[in-house]
Structure 1
């Protein structure tokens, strides 16, 4: 299983359709998409600044933002299957489908290590990859990726959140950062991995 996190910043980018199409064409039964929160999550940040509610409420709203982006993705690419639980994910993948995660089971009543803006959908993708024993983690961003920087540097620069390096430090899978224009590279990785 490959976990592919698609940044919420692509939610208004025409390339989103290309990414979803390529993943559906070449990733059936192997790809689990983690959607970023995008503009939906930006609204959460803005409302928290106005109303000063706690990070547990903000976390739950950000999870709903990711679920909204999942629904947007399925609206763009009807072949995607939305799944919220491990069992739903595994069932859809067993059926040869590409899954987009709506992380509603991440809702919280109390504060935890996940209920902070230090944890974004980047870290939730890494958390899910660890939980499901993924073979690979791809993080897709709208910006150009500086190849000479390591994960710690990308976190320090704000490209990745503060917890991502910790969650992937001992990962048994490769972590790839791709810019939005690198969908051919993602396709080549999937095709190469499919060769016995």
Structure 2
């Protein structure tokens, strides 16, 4: 029974992510989550104490889903250890994050909500700081060129590139985005 409840809770959180992406934080209601998840009305309210609880759990779940799989991690540890390889890896991250469009858009909504909700701010800060630290550790241990600041600057630049790609995709074409990733890596490693 616990397994079924865990699966349903996860499905409800995933539905909340989709609602956040489509309707924004104001559209996130238990009824909207129930409808998105295809469950009877009132189900979400049985799993989450309140809307803040749902927002907070959605914030944590997005980061679970954004994590690279084992194959991607293994691939990042192979190949040349030069700037060209860094550019390829960074483009892979941009592509992976962009492919979870609803998650990234929901994360933008959650970041805005976090300015008003301390518990959500705490969860997002924990996950984002852990993600940045893990990227720094991985990069430094990999033997790729660049230092801690390189990783942080690439993180900041690529996050905004993903925002552009997902919210205003006509500002930069696909080829231009790929060229910008390469240019950012080259300039930061120079």
Name the structure where strand makes up a greater proportion of residues: 1
Name the structure where helix makes up a greater proportion of residues: 2
* TM norm structure 2: 0.31
Q: Which has the larger radius of gyration?
A: 2
* TM norm structure 1: 0.31
